[in-house]
Structures are given as structure tokens and as C-alpha cells.
Amino acid sequence: MAAAHDVRPQDLGRTVRRFLSYLGHARWRLVAVAVLACATAASGLVGTFMIDPVLTAVGAGDMAGFLRLVALTGVVYLVGVASSLAYTQTMVVAAQRVVFDIRRDLFRHLGSLPVSYFDTTPNGDVMSHFTNDVDAITEALNNGFANLIQSSVQVVGTVVLLFVLDWRLTCIVLAIACVLLCYIRLASSRSKHYFSRQQDTLGVLTGYVEEMTAGQRVVKVFGHEGENVAGFARLNRGLQAAGTNAQAYAATMVPTTVAIGYVQYAAVTALGAWFVISGSMPLPSLASYLVFIRQFAMPLNQVTQMGNALLAALAAAERVFALMELEPEVDEGSVSLARSGGDSAWGWAWEVPGGAPVPLRGDVVFEDVTFGYVEGTNVLEHLSLRARPGQKVAFVGSTGAGKTTVTNLINRLYDVSSGRITYDGIDVRDIRKADLRRSLGVVLQDTHLFAGTVAENIRFGRLDATDEEVREAARVANADSFVRRLPHGYRTRISSDGAGLSQGQRQLLAIARAAVADPPVLILDEATSSIDTRTERLIERGMDALMRGRTTFVIAHRLSTVRNADAIIVLEHGRIVEQGTHEELLALRGEYWQLYTGAKELD
């Protein structure tokens, strides 16, 4: 689980420009919102300014003029109300469009990232981008965009009309307003830092909750509930501290603004009364002026209230855009996979640019391959081997010997540090990753099933498989019998990771998923390690049928499952120490013999 780190915005201008590019996706709706928000603000300004002529008409005893002005004021306010209702509804649609685009691009980019990103990033941090960060952006859009425009128009319009009514009082008002703005800028700067820290800490806390929830069975088995509560409390205190600091600075803005507004109002009232008494200012103008002064603090208060959401959105947007800017998985391959009517036993061929199609046969060769997940630390060193079409090659060795790494290199989840791997004579780095992986069937030790029906989980191996092909794949894996006993057979819905199914049943579905893909090359990463001996015997014939004619790489957990392999590779510390058939290796009475006879543990 990653520790919290400071995510204070490094390039505010870049974040704003990126955000504005998304606002452009709903530009016409946002233009409409801006126009309607301006109309709402203008109606408020005009309505307040009408106090002066209305009171003047009253003082002059002009009843007809008074009624006309009152009616006009009513129309102005009705326009404002209608504009306000219209822009709020339009803003909801525009905000959802912008957030839809952000979520779409975020998820699309997430799928393009290399496996190494997911190896080093907690799931909670990833989920926090889609939940906490996007929610903060949504809140800012819904409540911030239109209010910011409306408040800006109100502030500018109020200043202009104040100058029209009396420039002397307005100079005093602006001087006090400058003091207020300086305070808001200082408080906002500090608050922005703490809001960034709050968002980051929230991501860590979310990751911890997700991790502990997923591992609840392990937690209960080892009785670590108390330790987990203590760990959560520690992270929760960190979030509390960050949230308190963020809200403390932000919360001072409104009362401070109100207090300064009171001081301003008192000063203007006293001085304005003096001007009226001295005859240098009409009383109706002072009445209108004082209403403007009371309203002048309102848009400033709205800006400060929006500050919380805007600051949180700023931190959230930078986190989201930072993820979007991570380098995607590199795919420089140009060789593609296409249907072929040639001599390929699988009906596929590699389309080589500028060359003749190469039949897909499943001939895999490692040529002096060296690889390390971390630079300077090699997991495999100078590995050379060949799996001919249709051969079954098994890898055995202790934990950390490099067995799984071999298969990760075949499907290019990682690329070799030196040497090369060829597939039907073509360097796998020259093959497009999507086409390369389409030609491979993989069954992992850690089975992952998706929320959906049993048939949908099997069909994940080939999305265009028919119902009959799905059932045939299940029969090959010997999963058909238990599936038909489920409440709704192949239409039975299962939850994520197959809760309610045994580990063996989940593994059988994973094997059926590989079978429906009908690939020429199979990778079985300890595929039967979670299946009991009885179930293992049950699927042996199905597995043999699945592997027949296919190049198969098997990572063995039970040596009994690899006795009929065409070649057994014994790995230790990333090097091949022995290779041969089961009988040949037993005759050597070396490493494999010790593992097979129990003289040495296979951990």
C-alpha cells in the first residue's frame, strides 16, 4: 500500500488548459449557461438600481410613473428567475457530458497502461480517481461554473453602478474590497495545499479499506481485526488532520468576508447620510446605493463558498490528468494476424509487411534471453529453449526461479532486456500485441471471474463464440457437468471472482475460457494447483484433449502433472539447470530427481 505523498499542483496553467479542453466538448451548452447566468445577474443589478427612480417617483407624487416602474421591475425579476431555472438545468446536462468524457478517457487510458503500473499502484488509488476525484470535478462543475460567471457579472456590474450613483463612496468601497481580496488570496493559497493533501490521503484510505475488505477472510483467520482497526484509525486521523486544515482555512473566508462587509456598510451609511444632509447626494440614490452595498458582499461570499469545491476540483483534476499523461504500453509491432487458407493447421497466418504470409504454427524459441523486473537485478539469465509446434514444455523449480516470468515474456506483458523470443520465426516485438495475445490461451493460478453469467465468463475467451461453442469448451474442461447442476445452468449469474463457487469450479471455468479461444499456444500457470486430487483426475482427459496439437507451456505445481511433457525445464535462479523428458531427468538423479522423490521440496 502506497504511502501518502504531496500532490500540490506543479503546473496550474497546464491543468486549467486541459480542463478547458474538456469544457469545449459541451461548448454550446456552456455558452448558453454563460448567457443565462449573465442575464440572471443583470436582472438583479437592474432590479436594485430601479430603487432610485421608483423612490424618486414616490417623492414627486407621480403615481403613473411609479406603477410603470414597479411593473418594469417585476418583469426584470421574472426574466432573472426564468434565466436562473434555465441555466441550472442546462448546466446539469453540460456537466454530465464533460464528466462522461473524462471518465471515458480515463478508463481508456487505464487500459493502455503497462502491467508494471498495476504492479506498483494499489487498487484503491486507481479507484479513487474514478470516485473521489471525478466526484469533486462534478461538484465543481454543477455548482461552480455558472455561479462564478454570475458572481463575476454581479461584482463588475455593481462597481459600475456604484460609480454611477456616487464615485466618492465607491472609492472607499473599493479600498475596503482590496483588503478583503488580499485576505481571500492568502487563505485560498493555504487552503489549496491542504485540499490537495486531503484528496491524496483519501485515496490511500480508500485503498486500505478495499484491501482489507478483499482480504477479510485472511484477516479473520489470523485474528488481526484489532490491528486492522488500528491501521484504519491511523490513516483516518491523517485524513482528519488534512481535512481539518483544509476546511479551517476555507471556513474563515465567509465570516471574515461578512465582518468586513459590516464594517464597509457602516462606513458607507454614515458617510452617505452626511452627503444627503449636506445636499450633495439625493436620498433615493443613497437608498439604492446601500442596497447595492449589502448585495456587494453576496457575490464575494459566493466566490469564497465556491472556493472549497473549486480547490478540491483543482487537486482532483490534476490527479486525473497526471494519470492520463502516464506513458501507455509501447507497441511498435507491425506484424498482424489474419485468416489464411494456406497450410496453417489453425487457419491463421502472420501478415508481415512487405513479405509473404507466415503460417501460424506455434513454434516458440527463446534465444539467450535475459530479463529483470528491476534494472540491475535479473530474474532470467541467458535462457535458451525451443518449443516446437504441438510440444508440451513444462517448467519446474522453486519459488522465484523465473517460471512465471517466462510466460510473461511470451505474451509481452514485459519485454526482454536482451536476447529475443521468436514466434514462428518472427521476433515477438515485431508482432502487434493484440494479435500476439489473441493467438495465446492463458490459464492463471489466480482465477478471476467477472460479474455476469457462467456463459459470459467462458465466452470472455472469445467474445463471438456461439452458445454451442461455449458448451463444447466447458465439456472439454469437464466443467459442463457441474454447470448444468447450477440453478440456471449456463445462465446462472455469478458475482465478481465467482463467490459461491469452489476454487476448483472457478479453475474449471478458467480452463473452459481458454478452450473456447481455441489458440495454437497454451500457457498454463499452475492451472491445476487449486484443484483437489479427485477433480484433477477428472479433468486430466479434458486437459489432454485441450493440449493435443497445441504448443503448451506448463508451470508445474505438482510434478505428477508434467510426467508426459515432451520437455521438462528445471529452473533455478533464472537459469536452466536441467532439461529433458521425465525418464531422462530421473535417470540423471539430479535436481529434478530430488524434487520428484521428495529429497528436495518444491516450494
The pLDDT score that the predictor gives to residue 532 is 64
Q: Is the dihedral of CA 550, 556, 560, 565 positive or negative?
A: positive
Backbone φ, ψ for residue 5 (5° rounding): -140, 155
Buried b (16+ CB within 10 A) or exposed e, 128-157: bbeebbbebbbbbbbbbbbbbbbbebbbeb
C-alpha–C-alpha distance, residues 205 and 34, integer Å: 38
Could you tell me the CA-to-CA distances from 26 to 144, 184, 436 in Å, in that order?
16, 31, 39
At 7, the pLDDT band (50, 70, 90 cuts) reads very low
Q: Which residues contact 312 (CB under 8 A, 6 or more apart)?
A: 136, 139, 140, 195, 198, 199
Query: 215 versus 349: which is more confidently predicted?
Result: 349
Does residue 189 surpass a pLDDT of 70? Answer: no
pLDDT band at 3 (very low <50, low <70, confident <90, very high): very low
Q: Is 444 or 94 the better-scoring residue by pLDDT?
A: 94
Q: What is the pLDDT of residue 468?
A: 94
- Rounded Cα gap, residues 341 and 474, in angstroms: 28
Question: Exposed, middle or buried, 498 (CB in 10 Å: 0-12/13-18/19+)?
Answer: buried
Q: Report how far Cα 315 is from the mean position of its chain's Cα atoms.
A: 15
**What integer pLDDT is reported at residue 497 of this predicted model?**
67
> Which ranges in 215-252 belong to alpha helices (H)?
216-222, 225-251
| Beta bridge pairs of residue 335 | 431
491-517 confidence digits (pLDDT tens): 999 876 667 788 778 888 888 888 888
Residue 301 has a pLDDT of 64
Query: What pLDDT does residue 6 have?
Result: 37
* Per-residue pLDDT band at 9 (split at 50, 70, 90): very low
Residue 422, CB-side half-sphere exposure with 13 Å CA sphere: 14
What is residue 525's predicted lDDT score, i.e. its pLDDT?
A: 80
Query: DSSP code of 132?
Result: I
Residue 524: which region, alpha, beta or left (left: phi > 0; alpha: psi -120 to 50)?
beta
Give exposure, 415-450, as e/b (b: 16+ Cβ within 10 Å). ebbebebbbbebebbbbbbebbbebbbbbbbebebe
C-alpha radius of gyration, the chain, whole number: 35
- The model's pLDDT over 416-448, given as tens digits with 9 standing for 90+, comes to 999 999 999 999 999 999 899 888 888 877 778
| pLDDT one-digit tens code per residue, 41-70 | 888 888 888 888 888 888 788 888 888 888
Question: What is the pLDDT, as a whole number, of residue 221?
Answer: 57
pLDDT at position 12 is 65
Please say whether the beta carbons of 418 and 536 come within 8 A. no
**pLDDT of 562-585, one tens digit each?**
888 899 999 988 899 999 999 999
Q: What is the tens place of the pLDDT at every residue in 306-352?
A: 666 676 777 788 889 989 988 888 888 899 988 876 555 577 889 99
Arithmetic mean of pLDDT, 437-463: 86
